Amino acid sequence: MTVTTPIPPTGDVDPLASQGRSPGVRQIIRRGQRLFNEGDAADAAFMIQKGRLEVTKRVRDDETVLALLGPGDIVGEMALIDDMPRSASVRAVEDTLLLRVSKENFQERLQALDPVYRAILNRLSNRLRQQSIELAMIRKVVR
């Protein structure tokens, strides 16, 4: 079950909340629940406020753990930057409170940036996608 509520300004890990300008809504996902799957279309990015998420990538017929993320970490942003499908799957290791930033909200803020900065973000996202593939393959060989 996913629960979403508008975010009032609080002391949580939301850098804009203290200014009363939070860009999203709170979403709770339960332990074991998938946030999204590798290959899905992107509709949002997420900042972890409480809890932990596991990021995995499929290599052949096996899932490889790429990262364990916690409060303050952001997940799902690459697909919003480069408009590509999700590069990895994410599931909750424990009950997790997220700040959900919609694709529309993110794109609005991204379009306000200088085109040079947008190009830099796109290039960094592409590099990170490639490195995620390489890391997953290395981890599969090492196991």
pLDDT in tens, 28-80: 999 999 999 999 999 999 999 999 999 999 888 888 999 999 999 999 998 88
Helix, strand, or coil (residue 74): strand
Cβ-in-10-Å burial (0-12, 13-18, 19+) of 60 comes to exposed
pLDDT in tens, 1-12: 444 444 443 444
Helix, strand, or coil (residue 61): coil
Which CATH number goes with the domain that contains 12?
A: 2.60.120.10
Residue 49, pLDDT score: 97
Structurally, how many domains does the chain consist of?
1
Structural domain of residue 45, as residue ranges?
Answer: 3-142
Tell me which of 82 and 141 has the higher pLDDT. Answer: 82
- Write the CA distances from 29 to 20, 52, 56, 63, 127, integer angstroms: 24, 10, 17, 21, 29
Residue 96 has pLDDT above 70, yes or no: yes
Give residue 81's identity as a one-letter amino acid code.
I
